[in-house]
Amino acid sequence: EEETVKLESFKSMGLTSPVLKALEDMGFEEPSPIQVKTIPLILQGHDIIGQAQTGTGKTAAFGVPIVELLDHRSKKVQALVMAPTRELAIQVSEEITKIGRHAGVKVVPIYGGQSYDRQIRALEHGAQVVIGTPGRVMDHIRRGTLKLDNVKVVVLDEADEMLDMGFIEDVEFILQNVPTERQTMLFSATVPDAISRLARKYLRHPEHVSISPERLTVPKIEQVYYEVREHEKLDGLSRILDMEGAERTIIFCRTKKRVDELAEGLQARGYSAEAIHGDLNQVQRNRVLKRFKEGVSEILVATDVAARGLDIDNVTHVINYDLSQDTETYVHRIGRTGRAGKSGTAITLVLPKEFRQLRQMEKLLHVRLQRRPLPTQEDVAE
């Protein structure tokens, strides 16, 4: 009997059954646009520059082919993924572990803030895929505790973020320490000059894959703004939260200090809010994230760095308590909601002096944020 295979299905890509099974377990019914474009190219051996916004499924776009390209008999490190933050490294590690589950793939994340001994033991137990932040990967190379002689696939995930965070030298050091006979993939939301330069230097005849701008905007996100003055922000925010019936909300502030102050202010008003930023140690950050993911806390107050790339499901609201410094950051922030086709609301508090910036942002994004009047106490009491 004839089997009908959809044109763009994981099956039609010729993936092995352990991987297909894993994708099914994960609830991935069909590949996202970036996955459709990149997975076959990577399987054919191409280097890739993949450009797509947050939330488009880049992790599986490289995770699936990595699992397929591994020599499952060898327990040596064959794939190295670099990610800008600890949280992202952990997240990528979790996703590749899931994709590789039925194939028995060994994935080890290595990042700063965790003991070297633990990581060394994990590496000694046989790591086929290593996911790490550049600084820590470099330290392990220098200590001789991470051997990359058998690496045949290298991925730079969120390459623009890694450069922004000052990791360029570490990244180059690492690229110079992996065999040149390899495949290199670079994924990035944006491709500024520095990324193009890096690609020219370290990629071989890369295929450029990008998801067109129209597909970048996440249509299901409702984008609104409220005009506020600084002294009204906290009360205004709490009324907005009540009006919106916000459940799982991430709120962004500009600085760590403002994150702490806002989290405290919200707690004092009876909200289950927690702060996350770079001053917390890894254990604390993981705990905060876990409580938010499990719904123990409803509101996560974050700096941009702490929230970078975090994949948290079912976030109903993203709130820009402070307007983001640039449009890209805005896109990154609101990408925390409306993930994988779910709906979400992005709310921005705008000070009178920030209007010009808001208009500029709207122009760049070809969107118009809906203006809403700040709810009054009466609105909320009803």
Q: Give the integer Cα–Cα distance in Å for 360 and 376.
A: 29
Binding at 56: pick from Mg ion, ligand ADP, none (beta carbon under 5-8 Å per type):
ligand ADP
Q: State the nearest-atom distance from the C-beta of 186 to ligand ADP, in Å.
A: 13
Number of residues that bind ligand ADP (CB under 6 A): 15
Q: Give the integer Cα–Cα distance in Å for 382 and 380.
A: 5
Rule CB under 6 A: choose which of 19, 49, 50, 59 binds ligand ADP: 59
Binding at 339: pick from ligand ADP, Mg ion, none (beta carbon under 5-8 Å per type):
ligand ADP
Q: State the nearest-atom distance from the C-beta of 334 to Mg ion, in Å.
A: 15
Q: Which residue is nearest to Mg ion (CB)?
A: 58
Binding at 60: pick from ligand ADP, Mg ion, none (beta carbon under 5-8 Å per type):
ligand ADP
Q: Is 340 in the site for ligand ADP (CB under 6 A)?
A: yes
Q: Is 86 in the site for Mg ion (CB under 5 A)?
A: no
DSSP state of 107: E
Q: Which of residues 53-82 bind Mg ion (CB under 5 A)?
A: 58
Nearest to 361 by CA among 326, 322, 320, 317: 326
Q: Is 311 in the site for ligand ADP (CB under 6 A)?
A: yes
- Do 239 and 380 meet the contact criterion of CB atoms below 8 Å apart? yes
Backbone Cα Rg of the chain: 22
Q: Is 85 in the site for ligand ADP (CB under 6 A)?
A: no
Q: Is 31 in the site for ligand ADP (CB under 6 A)?
A: yes
Q: Using the minimum distance from each CB to ligand ADP, give the nearer residue, 99 or 347.
A: 99
Q: State the nearest-atom distance from the C-beta of 112 to Mg ion, in Å.
A: 19
Q: Is 136 in the site for Mg ion (CB under 5 A)?
A: no
The helix/strand/coil state of 191 is coil
Q: Is 62 in the site for ligand ADP (CB under 6 A)?
A: no
Q: Is 32 in the site for ligand ADP (CB under 6 A)?
A: yes
Q: Give the integer Cα–Cα distance in Å for 272 and 39.
A: 41
Q: Is 188 in the site for ligand ADP (CB under 6 A)?
A: no
Residues that bind ligand ADP (CB under 6 A): 28, 31-32, 35, 52, 54-60, 311, 339-340
